[in-house]
Chain A
């Protein structure tokens, strides 16, 4: 049971928009700690996709965007492409645990 809750799976057709939610609590997201998002392709290390709620590292397409509100955050992917099929993880800091916590991960399937 992860401290941050994500849907196990989402899917969409090429060109569509999908969102992935990340729900936390008052000791992590709700406490104001930023949320970060990672993309993990099969057999590879996670890649930073969004940092500090809504910022994209250099090289990440603007099809990817992040937002945060209250105790939750969301990752949106527009113009879905086959290469976006991967696992996505959210990350934040938890004051009760005094450490970093990941969401359980969401598998994105491009239909």
Chain B
């Protein structure tokens, strides 16, 4: 069964770097694009960026200067790094697969809290 499992540090200090990884199980990895999305507590969803199997990326302009998404096709994994975090980056972060022009499979979500 196709599924995404994600992990990473849940508590960061301001100015630190957020780092999350997502692994895809149960299907073809190289066929698809992969994405990260976040949701601040009690708020809506925000697209962070996406990557294809060749490593080509596209980022949300509002986060572009601080975001890096990378991919390791040998492990069916892709990762997110967000630098210089502040309290405004506190959110649940989701990884997702892009298929049929939308996000069809989502990871379970990781709450990342930025606090001193």
Using a CB–CB cutoff of 8 Å, the interface residues on chain A facing chain B are: 2, 34, 36, 38, 44-48, 51-52, 57, 89, 91, 93, 97-105
Contact = CB atoms under 8 A, between A and B. Distances in A.
Interface residues of B, number: 21
A105 B94 contact: no
Interface stretch (B10-18, B19-27, B72-80, B105-113): B105-113
B44 A52 contact: no
Give the dominant DSSP class at B's interface. strand
B45 A102 contact: yes
A34 B107 CA distance: 23
Contacts of A97: 60-61
B39 to A, nearest CB: 9
B100 interface: yes
B106 A102 contact: no
Nearest to A46: B106
12 contacts: A44-B109, A46-B45, A46-B94, A47-B106, A48-B104, A51-B102, A91-B45, A91-B103, A97-B60, A100-B35, A100-B47, A105-B45
Contacts of B104: 48, 51, 57
B46 A102 contact: yes
B65 interface: no
Nearest to B99: A51
Contacts of B46: 102
A36 B106 contact: no
A62 to B, nearest CB: 19
A60 to B, nearest CB: 12
Contacts of A98: 58, 61
A28 B109 CA distance: 27
Given A45-B107, A45-B108, A97-B61, A102 B101 contact: no
A3 to B, nearest CB: 10
